[in-house]
Amino acid sequence: MIFSTTPLSPVALDLGPLEIHWYGIIIAAGMLLGFYLADREANRRGLPEGMFMDLMFYIIIFSIIGARLYYVIFQWEYYSSNPIDIIMINEGGMAIHGGLIGGALAGFIFCRVKGYSFFRIADIAAPSLILGQAIGRWGNFMNQEAHGGEVTRGFLESLRLPEFIINQMYIDGAYYHPTFLYESLWNLLGFVILLMLRPKLKVGQTILLYLIFYSAGRFFIEGMRTDSLMIGDVLRTAQVISILLIILAAAVWIYREMKYDLPKYGSVQGIYGPGRAEAARGKRKQAGQTVKKKQGHKKGKNRKKRR
């Protein structure tokens, strides 16, 4: 049987000197849908109108810059010789971990300046982040990148994949693992889990759960890919970062659980500024210490009377 192996065009619109690629359209679609969900949740939670619009403006810019710089740094041997290609983000070459770092930095600074709780805002954004990543992986599909090792067509057919996915996985005379699809489905599952658990988790735990869940899936899927950014010739950069993020998120989770008296995400309404839970816990501790001092003072008086 003869199969069609003509790949889908990565170009959505050809306007002469200007080409609009599917990669950029899909990434933008993921960002817009994520923003819509986060903005609606922020309004439902009583945060100021338009707050997330202001925040997302900075997050999107810093995420794009961070994602591109991260990729360029680990591919510097190529980009140092082709500097003009650094700005060609429509052709691919965006690292999600770099985007997370850039977006988190922008979000942290924004929250500190405006007086919001970073962890609460991050909890609102977490499901949107992982949904955007699930959608964004289809940009890799259109560019025939971020795939795994070589497989047979029979293997892909056994996964009950649509014909257009199987055809797109035929690259340079061979079929490959659709790792973009594996990660997209993993992230979609994470989106559902985060939405279900968020109301029951404490403030800050949704974003930490996101980091743990996403990083666990990314670690295993990254091991299947053939185009990983590398540290030396042995370590896959994404796997190293994934392990570090899991450890960091778990440590922060335990630290916050032990140190602070945090409310549940679903019980907080309106502005929840940084340090409010910590201050509440501090007041309770201070009140407890005051009671102990008074009790000690009374005991001292009783001793004097007995003398």
CB of 250 closer than 8 Å to CB of 270: no
User: What is the pLDDT, as a whole number, of residue 281?
Assistant: 47
Tell me the mean pLDDT per 10 residues along the chain, length 307.
76 86 91 93 90 88 90 84 79 82 93 91 96 94 93 96 95 95 98 97 97 97 90 88 97 95 88 56 49 52 48
* CA dihedral (186, 188, 192, 195) positive or negative: positive
d(CA 206, CA 124): 8
Cα four-point dihedral sign 211, 213, 217, 220 = positive
- Residue written as token pair 């500024």: 273
Residue 274 has a pLDDT of 60
Q: What pLDDT sits at residue 91?
A: 65
Task: Return the closest-CA partner of residue 145 out of 185, 100, 175, 178.
Answer: 178
